[in-house]
Amino acid sequence: MKFNTKAIHHNAVHEKHVGSHVTPLYQTSTFVFESCAQGGDRFAGRDNGYKYTRLGNPNTKEVADRVAALDETDAGLYTSTGMSAVSTALLGLLKAGDHFIASDCLYGGTVSVINKVLTQYGIEMDYVKINDEAAFKAAFKPNTKLVYIETPANPTLELIDIPKVAEIAHAHGAVLVVDNTFMTPYLQKPMQLGADVAVYSVTKYINGHGDVVGGIITGKQAYIDRINSPHLLNLGGTGSPFDAWLVTRGLKTLGLRMDRHCENAMKVAEYLEANPNVERVYYPGLKSFEQHELAKTQMSGFGGMIAFEMKGGYQASEKLLDHLHLISLAVSLGGVDSLIQHPASMTHAAVPADEKLKAGITEGLVRISVGIEDIEDILEDLEKGFSHV
Ligand SMILES: Cc1ncc(COP(=O)(O)O)c(C=O)c1O
């Protein structure tokens, strides 16, 4: 099956009782056993029927399996939020005494969970500019067990060469985890490029309609098993069946939506590049983007996210952001509607100032998630906004 067919049909449950065509919503906390022996068999693992929604549910399983199939990897887990996917994956793959390397430009929530949680439990780490190959290789220690990257990175869109990093990580016995939220399996398949585990905030493109928070972890079976039990099941990061059901619905149009996001974002990037108020545009599809060639090798489209540097710093950014009407001033991304925000004071506010600077998150940096509205309307709104700068 090809991508769009799989996104609609893979593992769909055609329920037998009344013949529901679409997988029903199993909005239940628990499941009834036919006998005491059956309950015992389920808990002993001799019967893989459902027991209790925290431990498994048909809706959460359906969407996680489907995203894993789209990633062309072994297995998937559904989680309550993207941060639950990130934190549970890291807790499942690391233990006290281990060291890991993370790229120096990551979503602010991920930086917070590393700085405020993981490092409090005896896990050592270093942020490294992974594109500096010598610095990356020098960062490995005898106890380095994992490398964590985001590509494209939030918010600067900096790319990391997944096959190259996978080779170096594996040569040092480390697992490679990739946050693939910005790309989705439609545009980039981390495990096909050599990674071991991918994490997603499905709050973004995979659901795509801005009405759910959720996460998914996909990857090789052995790693998914380590993350699932005892971590996800005991820590309780499982997501709700209703949210998973909505994400399953959103996923069906992922390919169509991503094509339109890419098309619109290219036009917005070209518009911004020609705008005299803009110092620099970061969009992997632009020829002027430093890593444009790398983008073409590992991504099958350039995505819907753009960052740009305003000439007038924070003040000019504020003027623009306060005078948009169609494009909402809001964090989050990846929905059908366009959103714009100021990373330094919003999504990345919790990142310490020196780390922000190292990652290129300046006061003049603006991030836009280009939606799938008609491009003329998006450009008109930007043009009106810029007239106030
Ligand atoms: C790249 C990336 N990873 C993870 C997350 C966390 O996802 P959630 O907000 O669903 O917890 C976000 C949220 O913006 C993100 O942008």
The amino acid that residue 210 corresponds to is: G
Residues classed as catalytic? 54, 107, 179, 204
Q: Which CATH class is domain 3-251?
A: alpha beta
Q: What number of other Cβ atoms are within 10 A of residue 263's Cβ? A: 16
The type of residue at 176 is L
**Eight-state DSSP code of residue 25:** P
Ligand 1 geometric centre to CA of 110 (Å): 8
- C-alpha 212 – ligand 1 centre gap (Å): 12
Asked if 133 and 169 count as a contact pair (C-beta separation under 8 A), the reply is no
Structure tokens belonging to residue 365: 């940096």
Global pTM value: 0.97
CB 323 within 8 A of CB 384: yes
Cα Rg of the chain, angstroms? 21
Other CB atoms within 10 A of residue 38 CB = 14
Kindly state the DSSP code that residue 386 receives in the 8-state scheme.
H
Q: Which of 114, 79, 118 is nearest to 96 (CA)?
A: 118
Residues framing ligand 1 (Cβ under 6 A): 81-83, 86, 107, 109, 150, 154, 179, 181, 201, 203, 213, 215
Model pLDDT, residue 204: 98
Give the ligand 1 atom nearest the CA of 83: 11
CB neighbourhood size of 349 (10 A): 14
Ligand 1 atom 7: residue of nearest CA: 82
Alpha-carbon separation of residue 207 from 25, 271, 318 (angstroms): 16, 28, 29
CA of 106 to the centre of ligand 1 (A): 10
- The residue contributing the CA closest to ligand 1 atom 8 is 82
**Is CATH 3.30.70.1060 correct for 254-386?**
no
Residue nearest to atom 2 of ligand 1 (CA): 107
Minimum CA distance residue for ligand 1 atom 9: 82
280 CA to middle of ligand 1, Å?
A: 25
Atom number, ligand 1, closest to the C-alpha of residue 154:
1
pLDDT in tens, the chain (389 residues): 999 999 999 999 888 889 999 999 999 999 999 999 999 999 999 999 999 999 999 999 999 999 999 999 999 999 999 999 999 999 999 999 999 999 998 999 999 999 999 999 999 999 999 999 999 999 999 999 999 999 999 999 999 999 999 999 999 999 999 999 999 999 999 999 999 999 999 999 999 999 999 999 999 999 999 999 888 999 999 999 999 999 999 999 999 999 999 999 999 999 999 999 999 999 999 999 999 999 999 999 999 999 999 999 999 999 999 999 999 999 999 999 999 999 999 999 988 898 888 888 999 999 999 999 999 999 999 999 999 99
> Which of 80, 84, 154 to probe ligand 1 with, by most ligand atoms within 8 A of CB?
154
| β-strand partners of 127 | 102
Please tell me the distance from the alpha carbon of residue 310 to that of residue 101, in angstroms, as a whole number: 32
- Cis bond before residue 230 (omega within 30° of 0): yes
**Rounded to an integer, what distance in angstroms lies between the CA atom of residue 89 and that of residue 157?**
23
Sign, Cα dihedral of 45, 50, 56, 60: positive
- CATH 3.90.1150.10 occupies which residues in the chain? 254-386
**CATH 3.40.640.10 region(s) of the chain?**
3-251
